[in-house]
Amino acid sequence: MKWNNRTRVFVLTVMLAVLILILYMIGLLIPEEAVGTDFQHAGQPPSWAYPFGTDNLGRDLLLRTLKGLSVSMTVGIAASCISAVIAILVGIAAAAGSKTVDGAINWIIDLMMGIPHTVLIILISFSLGRGLKGLLAGIAATHWTSLARLIRGEVLQLRSQHYIVVSRRLGKSGGWIMMHHLVPHLVPQFMVGLILMFPHAILHEASISFLGYGLPPEQPAIGIILAESMRYLSAGMWWMAVLPGLMLVVIVLLIDRLGENVRTVIDPYSAQE
């Protein structure tokens, strides 16, 4: 096999996916005791023993950050998946349904996109009593719009394709056309859309928790860690904010890159470069 561009992208994609998975698994596997309080080592700056330093209660910030990241990722990914399912249902309903349905759905999408996400998530989360449930509902309810619009556009465009119309004249049923013509075309778009939704959802989870409307303070979510660090910044404990924040940025960028790479690999039309 020659080492060309497509091979490189493919290998890179697999490596990214594995890396993200490993980070996620580490976070899950860290036991509660490991991030227990230890006042003897409270407030230490980064060192070999504690690469990220410790917080005011002496908890190891590296372990806490990893654990926090995996909590955030769980919430983000779960919310994205729910959101993506909403998107595909709404998108197809808009494209295949009557003009009225399409108009109504478009109006809702415009409305949702017009309101800042953060405000909307806080509202939904707050009205559902905060916590995990409220946060999930909030993120899931706000992130489907752009993917739904994309899917609606794709389905509309496909429906007018000559080969679809031919298929109908060759006696194929709507269900058959859906399964054989539409779904294989939509799945790659859907997957890419889904993966590219993760970073958004994770960032929103972090910011809402940071603002105190999301996960409860005892959860080591990344937003909570960052919120706690604020109180100690003036005491000069910079590492409590900088290092976990940096990790959040890194993981979000990694997932974003993964999405772009998946797009390159599965889309046969960006083929020959």
Minimum Å gap between C-beta 114 and another protein is 25
271 part of the interface to another protein, by CB under 8 A: yes
CB atoms within 10 A of CB 28: 13
Minimum Å gap between C-beta 109 and another protein is 23
Among 32, 33, 218, 273, binds another protein (CB under 8 A): 273
Tokens for 154, please give them: 């794709």
CB atoms within 10 A of CB 15: 12
| Residue closer to another protein (CB basis): 4 or 98 | 4
Q: Are 260 and 199 in contact (CB under 8 A)?
A: no
Cα-based torsion angle of the residue sequence 219, 241, 143, 15 in order, rounded to the nearest 10 degrees:
-90
Spatial separation of the C-alpha atoms in residues 146 and 152, rounded to whole Å: 10
Minimum Å gap between C-beta 126 and another protein is 43
Spatial separation of the C-alpha atoms in residues 36 and 191, rounded to whole Å: 38
184 part of the interface to another protein, by CB under 8 A: yes
Q: Are 134 and 77 in contact (CB under 8 A)?
A: no
**Could you tell me which stretch among 4-12, 95-103, 207-215, 225-233 binds another protein (CB under 8 A)?**
4-12
> Contacts with another protein: how many residues (CB under 8 A)?
23
DSSP 8-state symbol, 46: S
| Residue closer to another protein (CB basis): 40 or 160 | 160
234 part of the interface to another protein, by CB under 8 A: no
185 part of the interface to another protein, by CB under 8 A: yes
User: Footprint of another protein on residues 114-173 (CB under 8 A)?
Assistant: 161-163, 165-167, 169-172
Among 7, 37, 47, 157, binds another protein (CB under 8 A): 7
How many alpha carbons lie under 13 Å from residue 273 in its C-beta half-sphere?
6
How many alpha carbons lie under 13 Å from residue 73 in its C-beta half-sphere?
24
98 part of the interface to another protein, by CB under 8 A: no
Residues that bind another protein (CB under 8 A): 1-2, 4, 6-7, 10, 161-163, 165-167, 169-172, 181, 184-185, 268, 271-273
